[in-house]
């Protein structure tokens, strides 16, 4: 590998504990302590994009054919799932989640207040 080139580790596929639309608490990094909504989850890479968390600046060239203005854009970068914890909507606390089988299928529940999410 050349200098500056990084290869991301391949993780075995796991079912993520976070879903699109969940409120999460960021556990580590420059945005530690922020609560925000999950916009996208990528289970194969083990990452998620969270609203207004892990912002980066991207420099873009103008492209009149595609009607793109040039300048510096701010957008969210992916964050590892291990750095996120789900916030329970009923007790409004960051919590671990469990799952149990029902007639409709598997349901997630809050391990503190034991209500379904």
Tens-place pLDDT, residues 64-114: 999 999 999 999 999 999 999 999 999 999 999 999 999 999 999 999 999
More confident residue, 13 or 63: 63
The 10s digit of each residue's pLDDT in 66-79 is 999 999 999 999 99
Q: Where are the domains of the chain?
A: 12-86, 92-117
CATH 1.10.3720.10 for domain 12-86, yes or no, is no
Dihedral angle of Cα 25, 116, 21, 91, to the nearest 10 degrees: -40
Q: Residues 18, 94: contact at Cβ < 8 Å?
A: no
Length of the chain: 117
Q: Give 11's pLDDT tier (boundaries 50, 70, 90).
A: low
Q: 109: buried, middle or exposed (CB in 10 Å: 19+, 13-18, 0-12)?
A: middle
pLDDT at 7: 73
The 10s digit of each residue's pLDDT in 24-52 is 999 999 999 999 999 999 998 999 999 99
pTM of the prediction? 0.83
Q: Give 3's pLDDT tier (boundaries 50, 70, 90).
A: low
């Amino acid at each position: 590998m050349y200098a500056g080139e990084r290869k991301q580790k391949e993780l075995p596929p796991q079912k993520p504990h976070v879903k699109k639309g969940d409120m999460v608490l960021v556990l580590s990094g420059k945005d530690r302590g922020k609560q925000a909504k999950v916009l996208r989850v990528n289970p194969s890479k083990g990452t998620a994009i969270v609203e207004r968390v892990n912002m980066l600046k991207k420099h873009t060239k103008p492209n009149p054919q595609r009607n793109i203005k040039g300048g510096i854009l701010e957008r969210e970068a992916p964050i590892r799932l291990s750095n996120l914890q789900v916030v329970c909507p009923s007790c409004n606390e960051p919590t671990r989640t469990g799952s149990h089988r029902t007639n409709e299928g598997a349901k997630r529940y809050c391990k503190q207040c034991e209500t379904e999410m």
